[in-house]
């Protein structure tokens, strides 16, 4: 899991961040209408590609009671349906105000998010008044472009006020990381045209149809950009047809390549380059009780799985999970595998794995926290991990094993003591910051809300005893002094609320 997150650091999303402390100025009340362009003119398609100006507020996980800092950015979007503009999720994440500008017009149109999917970095917007857009062409989706074919990228890179058009060649089709969430992998298309800040959300066209959405680049390489291909876009649009986004389903297994001849021989596999080893089966996941570590996956929905974990799909070699990617909750996938008992088959009903979202950066959510006698408790997730840079080996182990080892079945949250706001009641306790909470008053802590309940019982004990993973001794707080300490801490550190349990 750490390897996947670190790999995304080499990628960057392509919305331009503007350093600012307040939202952009509102549009003038009186602006001219969008000028007409004859249908079929060369610039006609450009009218449907809009510049998105976003004002955002980013939560503060270091001091979670604060409201967070304001900032903003520029991105691109395009019209795909009646009052429906497609863009990237990272262009509009944590937004407080969105303004859309049309090519060739100074007018700014207020917009809002209709649907957003952070796991595949896509979002749909709508404007308050669609009247001026009624005659604009609506861009349609095409197929995955072929290797070595040419595509055209349209957007507003580097914050420009006018459209930019670049051309590139498809150089790779792969299953790889999406940097927005830092945890998700989907189908991507690599092109040899630079995807620069501001390009995010812009259409990538081939033969007049959209074959992808520009969304990220690669820091170590020049003229290398990535686009979200149409199978991912179509899945997003299909998912929201019922009025909500339900996330991707998960097979719930981890695999290991089977290149080594000795390993293949030990597993009694033919020397044919097929099959991958199952190394982990996630508790409560789709394959729990069906597969087990040591099994060798051979086919998925009839597609042979090679020793690298790839299958041939639509004429391209892709990760076996691409079959799962195109399905929804309740859909089934047919697996064939081999173990010491012989060859087996089963239809597996797919489902999401909500605990796995702990590994993804979260957006549009307030940090949860609890302040108790100057001790600040927060649930461990990637937002917090990225903010605080925890180096304690027990915290890292709990984070890494949370899903693979099924820790989530026992603990809804991994609760951390993240800060110690200095007060007489907690003197000499600063060294305990950054450790995970195991028990409070002898009871295993299952969630942040549970920690609050244990620290505020109907009949308080003489001392609250907080046991931390890896600590040489417990933290002991006299219960009779807590109320006075809370009052002092609120005043000294300007904390309006001592707790927040809702995201």
Q: Which of 164-168, 329-333, 343-347 has the lowest mean pLDDT?
A: 164-168
Q: Which two tokens stand for residue 487?
A: 């009052």
Q: What is the mean pLDDT of the chain?
A: 89
CATH of domain 366-500: 3.20.190.20
CA atoms of 475 and 233, how far apart (whole Å): 50
Percentage of the chain beyond pLDDT 70 is 91
- pLDDT tens figures, 445-479: 999 999 999 999 999 999 999 999 999 999 999 99
| 409 — pLDDT class (breaks 50, 70, 90) | very high
Q: Is the pLDDT of residue 34 over 80?
A: no
Helices (H) and strands (E) in the chain, counts: 9, 30
Residue 7 pLDDT > 60, yes or no? Answer: no
| CB proximity list for 177: less than 8 A, separation 6 or greater | 4, 7, 8, 11, 184, 185
The span from the CA of 411 to the CA of 391, in Å, is 21
Average pLDDT of the residues in 81-89? 97
pLDDT of residue 217: 81
Confidence of residue 263 (pLDDT cuts 50, 70, 90): very high
- Other residues' Cβ atoms within 10 Å of the Cβ of residue 445: 25
pLDDT in tens, 187-246: 999 999 878 788 899 999 999 999 999 998 877 767 789 999 999 999 999 999 999 999
Tokens (6 digits) for 217: 């680049």
The contacts of residue 472 (CB under 8 Å, 6+ apart) are none
Beta strand segments in 207-270, E: 209-218, 225-229, 253-256
pLDDT at 36 (0 to 100): 45
Cα separation, 400 vs 375, in Å, equals 25
What per-residue confidence (pLDDT) applies to 50? 95
pLDDT digits (tens, 9 = 90+) for 47-80: 899 999 999 999 999 999 998 999 888 999 999 9
Contact predicate 415/378, CB 8 Å: yes
Domain ranges for the chain, please list them.
2-242, 253-349, 366-500
Residues 116-137: what's their mean pLDDT? 95
pLDDT beyond 70 at 426: yes
3-state helix, strand and coil shares in percent for the chain, rounded to the nearest 5: 20, 35, 45
Bridge-based pairing state of the strands 276-281 and 209-218: unpaired
Which pLDDT belongs to residue 103?
85
Pairing assessment for the beta strands 209-218 and 443-444 based on DSSP bridges:
unpaired
Q: Does the structural domain 2-242 have CATH classification 2.70.50.60?
A: no
| CATH 2.30.42.10 given to domain 253-349 | yes
Topology agreement, domain 2-242 and domain 366-500: no
pLDDT at residue 38 in the model: 38
Question: Is pLDDT of 32 > 60?
Answer: no
299-323 tens-digit pLDDT: 999 999 999 999 998 888 889 999 9
Mean pLDDT of 476-501: 97
**CA-CA distances (angstroms) from residue 413 to 5, 121, 281, 467?**
20, 26, 21, 16
Reported confidence tier of residue 160, pLDDT bands at 50, 70, 90: low
Torsional sign, CA 374, 375, 380, 385: positive
Q: What is the CA radius of gyration of the chain?
A: 26
Residue 4's pLDDT is 47
For residue 389, what pLDDT is reported? 82
pLDDT of 15:
58
Check whether 35 has a pLDDT greater than 50.
Answer: no
Instruction: Name the β-bridge partners of 475.
Output: 466
Burial class (CB in 10 A: 0-12, 13-18, 19+), 499: middle
In the predicted model, is pLDDT for residue 21 greater than 50? no
Q: pLDDT tens for residues 286-301? A: 999 999 999 999 999 9
Those residues whose C-beta lies under 8 Å from the C-beta of residue 283, and which sit 6 or more positions away, are: 406, 409
The pLDDT of residue 158 is 76
Cβ-contact 130, 174 below 8 angstroms: no
Residues annotated as catalytic (active site), given as ranges: 90, 121, 200
The pLDDT of residue 503: 79
pTM over 0.75: yes
Residues in the chain: 503
């Amino acid at each position: 899991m750490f390897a996947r997150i670190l790999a995304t650091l080499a990628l960057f999303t392509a919305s331009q961040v503007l350093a600012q402390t307040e939202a952009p100025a509102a549009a003038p009340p009186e602006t001219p209408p969008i000028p007409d362009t004859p249908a079929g003119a060369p610039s006609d398609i450009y009218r449907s590609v809009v510049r998105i100006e976003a004002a955002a507020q980013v939560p503060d996980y270091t001091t979670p009671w604060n409201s967070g800092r304001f900032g903003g950015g520029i991105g691109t979007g395009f019209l795909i349906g009646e009052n429906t503009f497609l863009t990237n999720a990272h262009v509009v994440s944590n937004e407080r105000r969105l303004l859309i500008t049309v090519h060739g017009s100074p007018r700014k149109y207020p917009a809002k998010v209709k649907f957003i999917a952070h796991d595949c970095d896509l979002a749909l917007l709508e404007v308050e008044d669609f009247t001026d857009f009624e005659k604009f062409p609506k861009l349609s989706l095409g197929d995955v472009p072929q290797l070595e074919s040419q595509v055209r990228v349209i957007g507003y890179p580097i914050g420009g006020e006018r459209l930019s058009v670049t051309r590139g060649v498809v150089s790779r089709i792969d299953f790889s990381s999406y940097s927005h969430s830092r945890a998700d992998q989907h189908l991507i298309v690599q092109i040899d045209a630079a995807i620069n800040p501001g390009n995010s959300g812009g259409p990538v066209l081939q033969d007049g149809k959209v074959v992808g959405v520009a969304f990220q680049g690669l820091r170590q390489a020049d003229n290398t950009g990535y686009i979200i291909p149409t199978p991912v876009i179509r899945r997003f649009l299909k998912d929201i047809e019922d009025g909500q986004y339900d996330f991707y389903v998960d097979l719930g297994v981890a695999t290991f390549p089977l290149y080594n001849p000795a390993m293949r021989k030990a597993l009694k596999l033919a020397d044919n380059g097929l099959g991958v080893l199952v190394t982990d089966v996630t508790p409560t996941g789709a394959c729990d009780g069906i597969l087990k570590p040591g099994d060798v996956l051979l086919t998925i929905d009839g597609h042979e799985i090679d020793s690298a974990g790839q299958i041939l799909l639509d004429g391209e070699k892709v990760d076996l999970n691409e079959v799962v990617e195109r399905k929804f909750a309740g859909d089934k996938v047919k697996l064939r595998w081999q173990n010491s008992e012989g060859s087996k088959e089963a239809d597996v009903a797919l489902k999401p794995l909500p605990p796995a979202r702990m590994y993804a950066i979260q957006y549009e959510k307030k940090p949860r926290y609890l302040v108790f006698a100057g001790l600040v408790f927060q649930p461990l997730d990637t937002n917090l991990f990225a903010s605080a840079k925890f180096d304690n080996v027990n915290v890292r182990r709990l984070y890494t094993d949370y899903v693979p080892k099924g820790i989530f079945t026992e603990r809804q949250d991994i609760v951390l003591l993240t800060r110690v706001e200095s007060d007489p009641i907690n003197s000499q306790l600063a060294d305990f910051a950054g450790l995970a909470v195991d028990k409070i008053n002898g009871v295993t802590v299952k969630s942040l809300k549970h920690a609050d309940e244990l620290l505020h019982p109907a009949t308080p004990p003489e001392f609250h005893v907080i046991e931390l993973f890896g600590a040489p001794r417990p933290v002991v707080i006299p219960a009779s002094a807590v109320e006075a300490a809370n009052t002092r801490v609120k005043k000294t550190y300007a904390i309006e609320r001592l707790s927040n349990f809702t995201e």
